[in-house]
Amino acid sequence: MSSVSEQRRARLLERLNGIEQRIVQACKNASRQRDEVTLIAVSKTHDVASISAFYEAGVRDFGESYVQEWQEKCAQLPDDIRWHFIGHLQSRKSKYLTEQIHLVHSLDRSSLFKALNKHITHQLDVLIQVNVADESTKSGTSVDELKALVDKVNQSEHLRLRGLMALPPFVSDPEVNRPHFEMMASLMQSLPAWVNRPEDISILSMGMSADFELAIAHGATHIRVGTALFGARDYGA
Ligand SMILES: *Cc1c(COP(=O)(O)O)cnc(C)c1O
């Protein structure tokens, strides 16, 4: 397997340590334990060698957004990686979410629920993605429609609802998103009462490179950090 240069490895580990320290501090400020927060390294567009460098440093949770890209990487990397599917999923691709997917963060609409419910025959853990700022350009169920989608997943034989995911607007000052994080925290409190197995509800996925500290302050259990770990993404050829 190809590996990164020593220089790149040192840079990646330096970033990982920096993020780790910030998570520790954010947990402390929120009177939470460090082990209440899982760092997901969002590896979309980044190469297998960089993922391996983080893997060797102990990271086991990685996030991918595109089915084919994930499949290619998954085939080349160790089996004990917990793969998080965080991207927009086309219904016709739902059958590709095999047992190797640890958690789907992006169940965002009832048509995708129908497709997953039809094609998935193993137990698949899912989060419902909430369009918390009601942005027309973003995926996610609206806050108003959330309960209806929860009811559906609640009836499913194979999909197991574990919590909620949010992708708030991109803003330069994360403070602007504070009301959205508050809204997610409050929805998360309501959720257990809406399902048959309230004990399954334990995951709140929110917070990215720019705002994970604020997310931790509002109860995030899973933060999804890409750029601050891997560096900028290159979507070019
Ligand atoms: C790409 C992506 C991230 C990571 O974003 P960064 O700003 O690079 O940390 C997190 N969540 C989702 C859903 C993403 O698509």
Condensed to tens digits (0 to 9), the pLDDT of residues 108-149 reads 999 999 999 999 999 999 999 999 988 888 889 999 999 999
pLDDT of residue 44 exceeding 60, the answer is yes
Ligand 1 centroid to Cα of residue 206, in Å, is 10
Mean residue pLDDT across the chain: 96
Categorize the per-residue pLDDT at 27 as very low, low, confident or very high, splitting at 50, 70 and 90: very high
Which one, of 171, 164, 178, lies nearest residue 209 by Cα?
171
Res 159: pLDDT: 98
Res 237: pLDDT: 52
Own/partner pairs, 94-98, CB within 8 angstroms, 24+ separation? 94/118, 94/119, 94/120, 95/119, 95/120, 96/67, 96/71, 97/67, 97/124, 98/122
- Tell me the pLDDT tens digit for each residue of 49-107: 999 999 999 999 999 999 999 999 999 999 999 999 999 999 999 999 999 999 999 99
Which one, of 210, 205, 233, lies nearest residue 108 by Cα?
205
Res 34: pLDDT: 98
- Chain position carrying tokens 């996030």: 63
The atom of ligand 1 lying closest to the CA of 227 is 8
Q: Which two tokens stand for residue 235?
A: 């979507």
Categorize the per-residue pLDDT at 1 as very low, low, confident or very high, splitting at 50, 70 and 90: low
Ligand 1 centroid to Cα of residue 134, in Å, is 18
The atom of ligand 1 lying closest to the CA of 105 is 13
> CA-CA distance, 53 to 215, in Å (whole number)?
26
Categorize the per-residue pLDDT at 171 as very low, low, confident or very high, splitting at 50, 70 and 90: confident
Q: What is the pTM of this model?
A: 0.97
Residues having CB within 6 Å of any atom of ligand 1: 42, 44, 65, 86-87, 167, 208-210, 224-228
Helix or strand holding residue 195 (H, E)? none
Ligand 1 centroid to Cα of residue 42, in Å, is 6
Categorize the per-residue pLDDT at 169 as very low, low, confident or very high, splitting at 50, 70 and 90: confident
pLDDT of residue 236 exceeding 70, the answer is no
